[in-house]
Amino acid sequence: MNTKTKEYTSIQESNNFIDKVIQTDLREYPDITVHTRFPPEPNGYLHIGHAKSILLNFSLATQYKGICNLRFDDTNPDRENQEFINAIIEDVSWLLETDNFVIHYASDYFSTYLACARLLIDKGLAYVDFSSPEEVRLNRGTPTQQGIESTYRSTSIEENKRLFEKMVVGSYDDGECILRAKIDMAHPNIVMRDPPIYRIKKTSHPRQKDAWKIYPMYDFAHCLGDAMDNVTHSLCTLEFENNRPLYDWFLENTGHRRPFPKQTEFGRLSLNETVLSKRKLKRLVDEQKIDGWDDPRIYTLCGMRRRGFTPTGIRAFCKEIGTSRSNSQIAVQRLEECVRQELNMSATRVMCVLDPILLRITNYPEGQSEVFEVPNNPEDPSAGTHNVDFSGVLYIEREDGMVNAPKKYYRFSLGKEVRLKYAYYVTCTKIHQDENGDITSIEAVYDPQSRGGWTDDKRRVMGTVHWVSCQKARHCKVRKFNPLFTHEHPETLGEEFIDYLNKESIVLYEHSMIEEFAYKLADDVHLQFLRKGYCYKDKVQSTDSCTMYNITVSLKDSLKNRIFMS
């Protein structure tokens, strides 16, 4: 019995450097309400890296009795759409197991952003620049070389006001001009070299439709959006560190009062043997290397959901890996272990033979059958029991038989006694092979005294195997997943990452046989195929006549190690 009492259900307390930041701020400003936000751009699907951010933001708010909302950073209509918005809401709700959070949109603040831009112009801190994108880029300089001031930098305030209003009403075409902040073209931090504030886009916005001809840039919109939402702690990943001075500059110069929302950066999550970047995932989808954004082999939230990962398991994982100022490189096995720990407590146990061969019990009365009552989950007696059918002709796993087996092989080999789980002790009497030496069927005799899988004598039967009755079992298909890439760090590769796709990333068992009970269960019940792994019904690939199961994660297996040792 599993006595481990690990807490999975709540969004838990964290203990990381951001905690310390908040605690320090709370000492200085005891009256503030901690307010965080998760700010995705609706231009793609959420993945495990976003989960880390979502959980960080929401758990910190919960921990300090504050507020966290979902805010869409929908400031670039070229790449955003309503489908992504809907998908993100669905994924966040699924991860958090609640839809009790407030949703904001940066686009709802467009009028305020505009007023802030006008204020900057009035102060002589912004100007309209008609340089071409190429010129802007060239004049920005390089890390080691300072930039060159644009000729439009000295335009009068009155003229800038006039020109900007023309931008607003759509007098110019895309790319013709931008509004830039007037900061310092010689600044050592390139972000501060007169960054763009507004650019012209005649694209229709998913929510604002055609109301706007200009759209604010991230650096301008994000800090102002945080301020409008009363965000106290604005958490983002490390690559935005260079943008922090600009974040503060915009707040300072648009009349916001201190304390400003505080931007704090944390390390990004990377997983071994897979990719998380939107660009790479999109290429896999576009070139149909995978099944779509919800392919069970990738770590999008929808992909993980389809594969059978649970929100609590993902939460436990994010908590376990922690949050620091280092980008972390983590083996997916750690995620899998978290999911195993949860599913071990909750999954319904069922027997399924992935790769079946026949087992004939030669001394079992012909035509006879019987029923065993078995626990649904030995870790949780309250989960109840169900019946399984037994007879003299069963299916067992092909790999549970071996001809010249080593001593410590506790399965079917000539003369060896093994236990059929819940049923009887059987002794292997014959192994049939085909011309290639592959096992085709096995014969055995059973001990009628061992009914239930136990005898009163002190006989030790080391091996226990799972089985299904030929007559009653149902056909199903099972998919087992291996890493999508044969390279440990495909994310570090350029476009050649595509050359490292693992040809064996899906192992399909087409002729699996599963006990009848499993068929009566609801679609979203997490199962454990005894001795094999945790499984979940694939809603896309299942048909009325045949269920497709995805192996979420395999059970740990120390067999290989032990055999090699001996």
Partner RNA sequence: UGGGGCGUCGACAAGCGGUUAAGUCGCCAGAUUUUGAUUCUGGUAUUCGCAGGUUCAAAUCCUGCCGCCCCAGCCA
Contact 195, 125 (CB under 8 A): no
Catalytic site residue from 41, 241, 379, 443: 41
Of 148, 157, 191, 228, which lies in the binding site for RNA, with binding defined by CB under 7 A? Answer: 191
Torsion angle of alpha carbons 289, 290, 291, 294, nearest 10°?
-150
Which listed range, 110-118, 354-362, 448-456, 516-524, lies at the site for RNA (CB under 7 A)?
448-456
Among 79, 123, 430, 459, binds RNA (CB under 7 A): 79
Is residue 454 close enough to count as binding RNA by CB under 7 A?
yes
103 binds RNA (CB under 7 A): no
| Selected range binding RNA among 227-235, 305-313, 403-411, 480-488, rule: CB under 7 A | 403-411
Angle among Cα 519, 522, 528 to the nearest 5 degrees reads 70
Of 26-34, 182-190, 298-306, 361-369, the window that binds RNA (rule: CB under 7 A) is 182-190
Q: Which of 153, 201, 262, 278 is catalytic?
A: 278
CB of 200 to RNA, least distance (A): 6
- Residue 255, CA distances (Å) to 114, 193, 250, 382, 391 in order: 14, 21, 9, 61, 81
Q: The tokens of 404 are what?
A: 């010249």
User: Is the CB of residue 351 less than 8 Å from the CB of residue 386?
Assistant: no
Judged by CB under 7 A, does residue 16 bind RNA? Answer: yes
Q: Single out the residue of 82, 324, 387, 433 in contact with RNA (rule: CB under 7 A).
A: 324
Q: Is 515 a catalytic residue?
A: no
In the bound complex, what is the minimum distance in angstroms from residue 152's beta carbon to RNA? 11
Identify which of residues 144 and 404 has a Cβ nearer to RNA in the complex: 144
Compute the least distance from the CB of residue 238 to RNA, in Å: 6
456 binds RNA (CB under 7 A): no
Does residue 161 carry a catalytic annotation? no
Q: How many CA atoms lie less than 13 Å away from 235 in the CB half-sphere? A: 31
For residue 412, what is the DSSP state? B
The CB density around residue 380, as the number of other CB atoms within 10 Å, is 16
Query: Which CB, 474 or 489, lies closer to RNA?
Result: 489
Site string for RNA, 360-389 (x = CB under 7 A): ------------------xx----------
Cβ-contact 421, 530 below 8 angstroms: yes
- Rule CB under 7 A: say whether 169 interacts with RNA: no
**Pairing relationship of beta strands 468-469 and 393-397 according to DSSP bridges:** antiparallel
Site string (467-506) toward RNA, x via CB under 7 A? ----------------------------------------
CA distances from 278 to 261, 285, 315, 325, 495 (A): 28, 10, 22, 22, 13
Q: Which is nearer to RNA, 139 or 502 (CB)?
A: 139
Burial readout 38-62 (b: 16 or more C-beta within 10 A, e: otherwise): bbbbbbbbbbbbbbbbbbbbbbbbb
Distance separating alpha carbons of residues 257 and 114, to the nearest angstrom: 19
x/- track of binding to RNA for residues 282-321 (CB under 7 A): --------------------------------------xx
Q: Provide the mask over 521-540, with x wherever binding to RNA is found by CB under 7 A and - wherever it is not.
A: -------x-xx---------
Q: Is 408 in the site for RNA (CB under 7 A)?
A: yes
20: annotated active-site residue: no
Measured distance between the N- and C-terminal CA atoms of the chain, rounded to whole angstroms: 30
Query: Which range in 21-29, 96-104, 191-199, 501-509 contacts RNA by CB under 7 A?
Result: 191-199
Residues 6 or more apart whose CB falls under 8 angstroms from that of 493 comprise: 487, 500
* Catalytic position from the list 201, 262, 268, 282: 268
Q: Which of 153, 282, 289, 334 is the binder for RNA (CB under 7 A)?
A: 334
Scan for tokens 């931090």, then name that residue: 189
* 223 token code pair: 């800090």
Cβ 521 to RNA shortest distance, Å: 16
What lies within 8 Å, CB to CB, of 554 at 6+ separation is 480, 532, 533
CA angle, 470 then 550 then 476, to 5°: 25
Is the CB of 169 or the CB of 544 nearer to RNA? 169
562 binds RNA (CB under 7 A): yes
| 336/555 Cα distance (integer angstroms) | 10
Q: According to CB under 7 A, which one of 32, 330, 358, 470 is a site residue for RNA?
A: 330
Task: For residue 96, list its beta bridge partners.
Answer: none
Distance CA 119, CA 91 (A): 38
Residue from 411, 477, 479, 480 touching RNA (CB under 7 A): that is: 411
> At its nearest, how many Å lie between RNA and the CB of residue 34?
19
Cβ at position 526, least distance to RNA in Å? 13
Q: Which one, 109 or 215, has the nearer CB to RNA?
A: 215
Contact between 467 and 512 under an 8 Å Cβ cutoff? The reply is: no
Output 98 or 373, the one with its CB closest to RNA: 373
Q: Which is nearer to RNA, 302 or 530 (CB)?
A: 530
Residue 192 contacts residue 184 (beta carbons within 8 Å): yes
Q: Decide if residue 327 touches RNA (CB under 7 A).
A: yes
Angle at 168 between CA 167 and CA 173, to 5 degrees: 40
* Residue 190 binds RNA (CB under 7 A): yes
* Window 111-140: contact mask with RNA (x via CB under 7 A): --------------------xxx--xx--x
Three-class SS state of 463: coil
Site residues for RNA, 198-257, by CB under 7 A, read 199-200, 215, 217-219, 222, 238-243
Question: Residues with catalytic annotation?
Answer: 41, 268, 278
